[in-house]
């Protein structure tokens, strides 16, 4: 505000103009990590989706191998890319470049990800495959194109106040020591920008600066308006899949082939949620100087909104604390890089491999043995929220088998404690007393339907409505705390209609035979076997005899390893008596390395303790 007040009635003029030539250089061809990052930013693909599409393009022979940490291109690829650039854009756009990978941990077993035929523009009828291919094509072509030449202009604007100002804040010529700066740029030669512009993770990045009008030093400027806007500091942004891949690569965690599986695994196991979250409304002030008057205005903005960001769950925080406490060397960020250095030393003959295994396994085995005795109740953190305002019972939040929950009362008391699961997005360390009490409003009765009550509650598999001893799941957008009776009737009737359409035909004389309507069309259920209905056959007209005949003719359900596995297991079953009879002739099992591990199992603690160890291993 003080600077705005000084500018009331002030004279503005160009104090200095500085014009500098600048250039922008194209990015290197794609590695696995940069492809995942750019596909996430530009195409909004997950890292798993990017690798699946790249795998298909590679198998079709359209791109080179997609798991690589090298940015180099073969001489053949550079030659073909150069021919395409000259034919499509002209000789001035060609600038041959040979890239070298800067990362010390890079193995460079393959060249960068590139098209196999630069003349091919359309390679797939699948829209997403084609989009990913175009991204790879443009990046590779741009890497061999000329720099973009720019001209950047910086104008410094002096302010000469009309009202008296403290002399300490003035220059010798009577202008304010505070100055205004305007910047702009002009593209003189577009170069690689004709094909490709690399994206960034910086949400506030302003790459495209505006153009300035013709200016001269000393030129007087008229003030149209000046705005002073209130701004707030921001926390570090949460990771997206793309920015997490970038961080993994910077820290040397994993290899190109492990980025996508790692990110997918932590999501599948419930350690991380990828989701959008709504922001909160916030007020901010803006002061506009116009016609020598300052007008304050209060605006609203949404802050904290997140789109496709990664959020840790309560389980993740507890597992992380457990691993950091008991296995600090394994979860250390530099663990992967350190192991790779030792493997390189072994390959060069500078370290015996037995020493490396001994150094790691001796300490690791001891820590695993220690964690065998850790009780599950001591692993999961609990937090006391306070006392129930009506009953005075203690309220606490804990982590259970099916996730975090709030507990009212103690297990040792005469009355049984009450439990309520936390809502999606609620965290154990942040939930308040009011939010905890809100959870115990379930189950609640929302009305009646057909003379029977409808009760809303939350179970192991999510929120549901109970009506006449039957359960009906709520939709993804339905809130169990606010859903009304009209919506409950709608859900029940929709489920009944779906179930009615599912059952095509039943046979009272043989309840195990049914004709159902499934996701991929009608089929027959014969006990544990699902039988396809031949094309042209009307499911409604099928008789019991026809269903039994189709079931008998249908092949047996394959096991985990197919028919061969079934035959092998059958032969194994027949051979069991013979094997028992010939048991003394079998080679001693103790000689096989895997059996030594099995022999250690009887030393495990009591029945309840291996469960904790198994949970830790899964983490």
Report, as residue numbers or ranges, the catalytic residues. Answer: 65
Computed on alpha carbons and rounded to an integer, the radius of gyration of the chain in Å comes to: 34
Cis peptide before 443 (omega within 30 of 0): yes
Question: Which residue, chain included where needed, has tokens 């359309």?
Answer: 122
C-alpha 129: how far from chain center: 21
Task: Determine contact, residues 147/124, Cβ cutoff 8 Å.
Answer: no
C-alpha 247: how far from chain center: 13
Distance of alpha carbon 188 from alpha carbon 492, whole angstroms: 66
- Residue 370 structure tokens: 């220690």
Distance of alpha carbon 512 from alpha carbon 506, whole angstroms: 9
- For residue 544, the number of C-alpha atoms closer than 13 Å in the C-beta half-sphere is 8
* 165-169 LR contacts (CB < 8 Å, sep 24+): 165/6, 169/6
Q: Which residues sit opposite 299 in a β-bridge?
A: 284
What sections of 168-283 are H helices per DSSP?
241-251, 259-268
Beta strands at 280-290 and 220-221: parallel, antiparallel or unpaired? unpaired
**3-state DSSP assignment of residue 13:** strand
Distance of alpha carbon 80 from alpha carbon 499, whole angstroms: 60
39-40-46-51 Cα dihedral, nearest 10 degrees:
20
Beta strands at 293-303 and 280-290: parallel, antiparallel or unpaired? antiparallel
Order of all β-strands in the sheet with 503-506: 503-506, 513-518, 521-526, 529-532
What sections of 582-618 are H helices per DSSP?
593-599, 609-618
For the chain, how many helices (H) and strands (E)? Answer: 17, 21
Q: CB 510: neighbour CB atoms within 10 A?
A: 12
Q: CB 219: neighbour CB atoms within 10 A?
A: 13
107-109-111-116 Cα dihedral, nearest 10 degrees:
-150
Q: Report the candidate in 226, 68, 44 with the shortest Cα–Cα distance to residue 135.
A: 44
Cα distances (angstroms) measured from residue 177 to each of 160, 165, 167, 173, 424: 10, 11, 10, 10, 53
Q: Is 592 exposed, middle or buried (0-12, 13-18, 19+ CB in 10 A)?
A: exposed
Q: CB 497: neighbour CB atoms within 10 A?
A: 10
C-alpha 256: how far from chain center: 17
């Amino acid at each position: 505000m003080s600077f705005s007040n000084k500018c009331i009635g002030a004279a503005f003029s160009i104090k200095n103009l500085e014009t500098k030539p600048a250039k922008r250089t194209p990015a290197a061809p794609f590695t696995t990590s940069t492809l995942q990052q750019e596909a996430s930013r530009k195409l909004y693909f997950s890292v798993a989706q990017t690798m699946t599409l790249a795998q298909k393009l590679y198998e079709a022979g359209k791109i080179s191998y997609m798991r690589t940490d090298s940015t180099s291109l073969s001489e053949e690829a550079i030659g073909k890319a150069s021919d395409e650039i000259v034919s499509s854009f002209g000789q001035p756009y060609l600038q041959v470049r040979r890239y070298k990978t800067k990362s010390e941990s890079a193995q460079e077993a393959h060249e960068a990800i590139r098209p196999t035929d630069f003349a091919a523009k359309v390679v797939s009828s699948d829209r997403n495959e084609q989009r990913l291919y175009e991204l790879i094509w443009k990046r590779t072509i741009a890497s061999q194109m000329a720099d973009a030449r720019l001209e950047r202009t910086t104008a410094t604007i002096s302010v000469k106040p009309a009202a008296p100002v403290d002399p300490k804040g003035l220059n010798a010529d009577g202008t304010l020591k505070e100055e205004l700066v305007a910047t702009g740029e002009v593209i003189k030669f577009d170069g690689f920008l004709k094909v490709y512009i690399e994206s960034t993770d910086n949400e506030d990045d302003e790459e495209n600066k505006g153009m300035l009008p013709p200016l001269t030093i000393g030129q007087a400027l008229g003030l149209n308006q000046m705005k002073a806007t209130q701004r707030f500091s921001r926390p570090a942004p949460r990771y997206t899949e793309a920015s997490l891949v970038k961080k993994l690569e910077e820290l040397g965690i994993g290899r190109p082939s492990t980025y996508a599986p790692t990110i997918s695994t932590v999501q599948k196991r419930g350690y991380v949620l990828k989701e959008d979250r709504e922001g909160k409304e916030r007020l901010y002030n803006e002061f506009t100087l116009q016609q020598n008057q300052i007008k304050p205005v209060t605006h609203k903005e949404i802050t904290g909104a997140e789109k496709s960001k990664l959020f840790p769950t309560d389980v993740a925080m507890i597992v992380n604390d457990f691993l950091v406490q008991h296995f600090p060397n394994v979860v250390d960020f530099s663990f992967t890089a350190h192991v790779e250095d030792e493997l390189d030393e072994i390959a060069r003959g500078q370290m015996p491999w037995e020493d490396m295994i001994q150094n790691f396994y001796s300490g690791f085995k001891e820590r695993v043995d220690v964690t065998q005795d850790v009780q599950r109740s001591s692993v999961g953190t609990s937090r006391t929220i306070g006392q129930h305002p009506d009953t005075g019972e203690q309220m606490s939040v804990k982590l259970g088998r099916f996730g975090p929950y709030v507990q009212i009362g103690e297990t040792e008391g005469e009355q049984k404690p009450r439990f309520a699961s936390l809502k999606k997005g609620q965290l154990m360390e942040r939930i308040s007393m009011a939010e905890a009490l809100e959870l115990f409003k379930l189950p609640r009765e929302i009305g009646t339907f057909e003379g029977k009550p409808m009760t809303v509650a939350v179970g192991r598999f999510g929120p549901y409505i109970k009506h006449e001893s039957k359960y009906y799941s709520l939709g993804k957008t339905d809130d169990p705390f606010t859903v009304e009776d009209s919506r409950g009737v709608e859900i029940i009737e929709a489920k009944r209609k779906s179930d009615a359409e599912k059952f095509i035909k039943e046979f009272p004389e043989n309840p195990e035979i049914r004709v159902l309507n499934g996701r991929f069309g009608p089929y027959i259920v014969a006990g544990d076997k699902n039988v396809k209905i031949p094309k042209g056959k009307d499911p409604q007209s099928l008789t019991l005899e026809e269903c039994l005949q189709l079931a008998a003719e249908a092949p047996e359900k394959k096991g985990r390893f197919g028919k061969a596995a079934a035959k092998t297991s059958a032969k194994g079953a027949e051979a069991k008596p013979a094997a028992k009879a010939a048991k003394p002739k079998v080679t001693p099992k103790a000689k096989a390395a895997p059996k030594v591990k099995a022999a250690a199992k009887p030393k495990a603690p009591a029945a309840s303790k291996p469960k904790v160890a198994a949970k830790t291993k899964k983490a």
